[in-house]
Amino acid sequence: MAEKQTTTSAAFIATLKRDLLIAFKKKNDIVNPFMFFIIVVSLFPIGISPESDRLTEIAAGVIWISVLLASMLSMDNLYRSDYEDGSLEQLLLSPHPLFFLVLAKNISHWLVSGLPVVLVSPILAYMLALPTEAYGTLVLSLLLGTPIMSLVGSIAVALTVGLGSRGLILAVITLPMSVPVLIFGTLAVQSTLNSQSPVGYLSLMLVMLSVSVSLAPLASAAALKISVN
């Protein structure tokens, strides 16, 4: 990381590559939240009802809430290992705007934790007896919603990065904030099921995504500066 005259875009790509590489070296951190997601989804039919009619009603909500819980788990190691080995301080000292470096870290985190969940969601939707016509909406809403959760959750992770044992405080801070995403994500799927157009909800999620892409990394960067003195 010691090259002298790097451009910001080069630094952005370098951070992205580095984080993806680290993620693939430590497969447990990716695989465990993913497995958690699949297991939580499979517990719902056992706990509530195996009848496909009832499962159809709750399918979208079950998948969305499981995604939220799984993202809490994967979020935990967004900055922690960097904080522990000191590379986070290097990141803060870099001459490039922290905004883009934080954005790169968030994108790489989403690629390894959010995207797999989105890709596997049609299979789980099938298992929860969601009608086929809603698959597209579900995948699209997850595609728009999971990056929002990564970006907003990153603020809370950055605020708590210095704490030794934080596990639950992250969930207490972040879960209430994910209410709007949950509402619009499930409403989009429900409206498809009622043969209405989900475009309105999906565009609202797109708005939330563009707002969080432009503002949340700023807050995360400020939070990192607060946490790392």
User: What residues line the site for other proteins (CB under 8 A)?
Assistant: 155-156, 159-160, 162-163, 166, 169, 172-173, 175-177, 179-180, 183-184, 187, 208, 219, 222-223, 226-227, 229
The rounded distance, in Å, linking the Cα atoms of 177 and 218 is 17
Nearer to other proteins, 120 or 183 (CB): 183
Least Cα distance to 38 among 6, 54, 62 occurs for: 62
Chain-centroid distance, C-alpha 113: 7
**Smallest separation, CB 93 to other proteins (Å):** 19
**Smallest separation, CB 31 to other proteins (Å):** 29
Question: DSSP state, 139?
Answer: H
The rounded distance, in Å, linking the Cα atoms of 91 and 98 is 8
The two three-digit tokens of residue 219, written as one number: 């807050």
Nearer to other proteins, 138 or 228 (CB): 228
Nearer to other proteins, 127 or 173 (CB): 173
CA angle 15, 16, 21 (to 5 degrees): 100
Least Cα distance to 157 among 144, 146, 171 occurs for: 171
**Smallest separation, CB 177 to other proteins (Å):** 5
**Smallest separation, CB 13 to other proteins (Å):** 28
Nearer to other proteins, 112 or 189 (CB): 189
Q: Assess contact for 186 and 61: CB atoms under 8 A.
A: yes
Nearer to other proteins, 119 or 169 (CB): 169
**Total length of the chain:** 229
**Smallest separation, CB 166 to other proteins (Å):** 7
